[in-house]
């Protein structure tokens, strides 16, 4: 990834510090608002989102195969959602499997700025520099192999 811009706003030091961490440790294009850190997805950093129930099984499957990456829980109207941070899939797919959404370049997603869940946003699997993103093809292939069971 290229070194993206960093936009800091708001008075909350915790939010600004979290944004600086994501920018300096991962090179992620983030900005802050008065209440959250926001990641703007890029051509080389996308997200695959799904209901948490499906995400639990998928994450376990990926971890068993040694695949690593960050997963963030997102707020939803009636259920919890998980977003797997991924590299762009190389395989052309007509559309993602049912029950999955691929968030594309330009989409904003909130990132945790507190060790505890705030407004439903928390790390399910905190990213590690050098292992922050799942391989997009691995996530989508594993999702196809584990169809939605709810």
CB within 8 A of 65, min separation 6: which ones? 138, 142
Quick: pLDDT tens for 120-131: 899 999 999 989
**pLDDT classification of 119: cutoffs 50, 70, 90:** confident
**pLDDT classification of 1: cutoffs 50, 70, 90:** very low
pLDDT at 109 over 90: yes
Is the pTM higher than 0.85? The answer reads yes
Cα–Cα distances in Å, from 94 out to 65, 87, 102, 115, 148?
Answer: 26, 18, 12, 38, 18
Cα–Cα distances in Å, from 96 out to 60, 68, 115?
Answer: 20, 21, 31
For residues 93-121, give the mean pLDDT: 84
CB within 8 A of 144, min separation 6: which ones? 97
Cβ atoms of 11 and 34 within 8 Å: the answer is yes
């Amino acid at each position: 990834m290229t070194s993206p811009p960093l936009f800091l706003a708001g008075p909350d030091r915790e939010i600004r510090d979290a944004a600086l961490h994501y920018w300096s440790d991962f090179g992620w294009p983030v900005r802050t608002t008065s209440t959250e850190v926001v990641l703007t997805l890029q051509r080389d950093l996308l997200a695959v989102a799904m209901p948490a129930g499906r995400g639990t099984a998928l994450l376990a499957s990926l971890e068993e195969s040694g695949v690593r990456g960050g997963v963030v829980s997102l707020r939803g109207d009636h259920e919890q959602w998980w977003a797997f941070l991924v590299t762009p899939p190389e395989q052309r797919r007509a559309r993602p499997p049912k029950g999955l959404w691929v968030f594309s370049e330009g989409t904003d997603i909130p990132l945790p700025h507190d060790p505890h869940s705030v407004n439903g946003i928390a790390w399910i699997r905190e990213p590690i520099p050098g292992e922050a993103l799942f391989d997009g093809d691995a996530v989508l292939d594993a999702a196809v192999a584990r169809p939605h069971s709810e």
